[in-house]
């Protein structure tokens, strides 16, 4: 029996198959006497590694086809790149290092500008690029931050297909990591902020929720007006409810990071303060999720207590925090240790919680259930 890859002209034939992307399963004929009567026997041809020369040739073909705006040819080449990428990490690395990211990004940018009739091609390119992430340092990926590309990504973000929405969130997260100016370009696109919030509200997937949260964090960290836009969209309430219902560590961490950044804005801080769940939730997350979650929780409590507008502090928040066990949690936090900034904020909160507790006991302005002097609590 002559195996297909050992046949005459096999090397040249396989190389042509690689360039054209035709690497489908090869069915090898098996003698009748060796066949099993109950099933069809198939032998899959072995994976052939892509060479840099082949990858450069594929990228060149795609760039030329995109320059001519040959939709059908581009779709064919992108589909073949997608199949080659399934050949393993070695093939993916070879494609990334030999111009495929630039070729795919350029093709996406060109056909995104045309808007109509090219959705399948754009979805295929988006699928390939999102499966190759991270790409923020790859040559040519910055083309995904062009006006045409961002507009298209936002349309996908607000679309109906869950997988495409997820891929769009991944690519947007990667694009804004390339350069801060893409953050401003993104938020200027109509429907971008709404799409990011909608990804979280619709619970498309855990991965897309985390990607959306990181995009939002970068956006609100760069500009107060952007923060106010997200606040008006109900971001604080949405994130708070999600933390109550979603116990996953990574989602909780990112949510707290976003809330912490939101509290740097006065309007954002006011919206956080209005939420009845926020103080009990923050106290609960201290020493319960991770070091990052603890740091963010303490930082948010400290920012909410400090009122920068009139220089006064909100003792009402301290009373509420006392009722849900903040004094004991912060005391334990200082005993087990934490980073210096968190330690300073926790110490200041603890001193003022103690002052507030003493005042409550002296004035007896609340019922006896609030007397916390001899409280014993297990941790």
DSSP-assigned letter for residue 27: P
pLDDT digits (tens, 9 = 90+) for 231-276: 999 999 999 999 988 768 999 999 999 999 999 999 999 999 999 9
Alpha carbons 13 and 346: distance in angstroms, whole number:
69
pLDDT digits (tens, 9 = 90+) for 43-55: 544 466 789 999 9
- Per-residue pLDDT band at 3 (split at 50, 70, 90): very low
pLDDT exceeds 80 at position 377: no
Distances (CA, A) of 345 to 182, 277, 310, 342, 349: 34, 21, 20, 5, 6
Task: State the CB neighbour count (10 A cutoff) for residue 310.
Answer: 6
Q: Is the pTM of this model over 0.75?
A: yes
Assess whether pLDDT exceeds 90 at residue 163. Answer: yes
Phi and psi at residue 313, to the nearest 5°? -110, 150
Confidence of residue 220 (pLDDT cuts 50, 70, 90): very high
Element (H, E) at 162: helix 162-178
Burial of 228 (0-12, 13-18, 19+ CB in 10 A): middle
52-67 and 89-97 are packed helices; what angle lies between their axes, rounded to 10 degrees? Answer: 60
Burial category of 36 from C-beta neighbours within 10 Å (exposed 0-12, middle 13-18, buried 19 and up): exposed
Q: Who has greater pLDDT, 37 or 107? A: 107
Cis ω before 192 (30° cut-off from 0): no
Distance, CA of 176 to CA of 149 (rounded, Å): 13
Q: What's the confidence (pLDDT) of residue 19?
A: 54
Cα–chain center distance at 175: 11
Percent of the chain exceeding pLDDT 70 equals 80
Taking all residues of the chain, what is their mean pLDDT, rounded to a whole number?
83
Backbone phi, psi, residue 306, to 5°:
-75, 130
Residue 376 pLDDT grade (very low, low, confident, very high; cuts 50, 70, 90): very low
């Amino acid at each position: 029996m002559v195996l297909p890859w050992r046949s005459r002209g096999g090397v040249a034939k396989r190389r042509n198959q690689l360039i054209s992307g035709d690497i489908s399963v090869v069915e090898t004929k098996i003698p009748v006497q060796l066949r099993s009567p109950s099933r069809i026997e198939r032998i899959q041809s072995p994976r052939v590694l892509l060479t840099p020369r082949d990858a450069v040739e594929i990228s060149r073909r795609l760039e030329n086809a995109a320059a001519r705006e040959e939709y059908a040819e581009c779709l064919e080449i992108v589909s073949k790149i997608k199949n080659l990428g399934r050949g393993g990490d070695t093939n993916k690395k070879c494609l990334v290092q030999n111009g495929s990211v630039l070729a795919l990004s350029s093709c996406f940018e060109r056909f995104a500008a045309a808007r109509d009739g090219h959705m399948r091609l754009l979805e295929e390119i988006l699928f390939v690029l999102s499966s190759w992430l991270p790409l923020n340092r790859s040559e040519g990926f910055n083309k995904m931050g062009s006006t045409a590309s961002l507009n298209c990504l936002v349309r996908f973000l607000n679309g109906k297909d869950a997988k495409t929405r997820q891929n769009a969130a991944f690519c947007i997260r990667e694009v804004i990591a390339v350069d801060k100016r893409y953050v401003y370009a993104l938020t200027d696109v109509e429907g971008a902020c709404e799409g990011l919030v909608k990804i979280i509200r619709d619970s498309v997937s855990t991965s897309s929720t985390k990607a959306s949260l990181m995009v939002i964090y970068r956006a609100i960290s760069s500009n107060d007006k952007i923060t106010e836009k997200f606040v008006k969209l109900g971001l604080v309430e949405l994130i708070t409810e999600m933390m109550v219902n979603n116990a996953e560590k990574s989602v909780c961490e990112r949510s707290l990071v976003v809330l912490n950044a939101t509290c740097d804005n006065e309007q954002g801080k006011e919206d956080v303060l209005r939420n009845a769940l926020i103080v009990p939730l923050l106290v609960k997350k201290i020493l319960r999720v991770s070091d990052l979650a603890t740091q963010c929780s303490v930082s948010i409590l400290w920012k909410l207590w400090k009122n920068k507008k009139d220089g006064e502090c909100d003792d009402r928040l301290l009373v509420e925090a006392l009722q849900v066990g903040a004094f004991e949690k912060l005391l334990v936090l200082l005993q087990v240790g934490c980073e210096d900034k968190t330690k300073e904020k926790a110490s200041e909160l603890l001193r003022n919680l103690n002052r507030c507790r003493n005042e409550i006991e002296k004035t007896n302005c609340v019922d006896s259930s609030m007397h916390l002097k001899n409280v014993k609590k297990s941790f």
